[in-house]
Amino acid sequence: MGTLSLRERAAELGGRTTVTCPPGGGTVVTAELPCAATTEEGDA
């Protein structure tokens, strides 16, 4: 349930998640999210 929720939240923001298990153990969870462009006033 935890990774599903993370994936859904990332998708709502236009992003994605990946979960990998590299050789030697451990788990890597990556979330890639787009950055909003800002104006000179700092608004998105």
Whether the per-residue pLDDT at 44 is higher than 60: the answer is no
How many domains are there within the chain? Answer: 1
What is the tens place of the pLDDT at every residue in 8-39?
Answer: 999 999 999 999 999 999 999 999 999 977 66
- Amino acid identity of residue 42, one-letter, is G
Contact call for residues 12 and 33 (beta carbons, < 8 A): no
Q: Is residue 11 part of a domain?
A: yes
Residue range of the domain that includes 25: 2-32
Q: Is residue 19 part of a domain?
A: yes
d(CA 32, CA 24): 24
d(CA 19, CA 9): 15
Can you give the pTM of this predicted structure? Answer: 0.65
Q: Is residue 10 part of a domain?
A: yes
Q: Is residue 17 part of a domain?
A: yes
Q: Is residue 42 part of a domain?
A: no
